[in-house]
Chain A
Amino acid sequence: MTEYVIRFLAGGAIVSAFAMLGDLLRPKSFAGLFGAAPSVALATLGIAVYQHGAAYAALQTRAMIAGAIALAIYSVVVCQILARARLRALPATLLSLVVWLIVAFGVLMLAGGQT
């Protein structure tokens, strides 16, 4: 239980810090870089190294490569939906999560589950 409380607090704090930095910066396209900051990864990997060791964290980041490829495609899809289909931000970002899931698991499967 304590582990998940620590995870929640660390994740919340790191994500908020990156989000606030993104709010502070202009132009908006540059601030957008912070929308894809590895904030969840930084919090999770710190705990993973402490609990399971470096090899486990390295395995997680190998799979994260597939997640990052999916994130790039997801962001492009969201951008196109907002600009062309004129959908609002919340439905556009939520619907596009299907794209993220398909690409992420697809790349992971193609790489034999190890990336």
Chain B
Amino acid sequence: MTPIRLAPSSLKEGRWYEYLIRFALGGAATVFAGLVSSRYGASIGGLFLALPAIFCASATLIEKHEIRRKREAGLAGERRGQMAAAVDSAGAALGALGMLAFAMVFSLTAETSIAAAFIGASLAWLVISMVAWYVRRKTRSVRRGRTKQKGSGSALV
């Protein structure tokens, strides 16, 4: 199983304007959520706290970086780029479970203590996301092991 690690060199792959785009998109999404809340109320506005506006930019950048890396190695890289973005989306699906936990914990604790709501909800996001990622990873490696065993078994027969 691949361990979680830091890859500081990956920051060098990004161009300055890519960080600017993400900052602007993040700011715009927050302003948009605020505008929707003040126009249509807290309930409709709350939906947009989980809008995947930033995800579009992140997935596109991941694809672009992968393509650039492959092109530098003399390969086309389009397919590899798409698959890198697909893997990122699979991770985001697990992160969304964490976001669900964040929203649930915050809504249950906000009226008791705001500090506890922010800390508890953030912790819930982190724990649930990591547990979901770990369980998926384990399940996949067990499934892969079984497939390999079946393959070698039939080869022996």
Contacts and interface: CB of A to CB of B under 8 A. Distances in A.
Contacts of B48: 40, 67
A45 B26 contact: no
Interface string A16-27: 100110111111
B56 A28 contact: no
Interface of B: 2, 4-8, 10-11, 14, 19, 22-31, 33-35, 37, 42-56, 58-60, 62-63, 78-79, 81-100, 102-104, 106-107, 110-111, 114, 117-118, 121-122, 125, 129-130, 133, 136-137
Contacts of A41: 49-50, 99, 102-103
A19 B45 CA distance: 23
Interface of A: 3-4, 7-16, 19-20, 22-49, 52, 54-72, 74-76, 78-79, 82-83, 86-90, 92-94, 97, 100, 104-105, 108, 113-115
A31 B51 contact: no
A56 B58 CA distance: 30
A26 to B, nearest CB: 5
B20 to A, nearest CB: 9
A11 to B, nearest CB: 2
A103 to B, nearest CB: 10
A58 B51 contact: no
Nearest to A83: B86
A88 B23 CA distance: 23
A97 B86 CA distance: 16
A89 B89 CA distance: 10
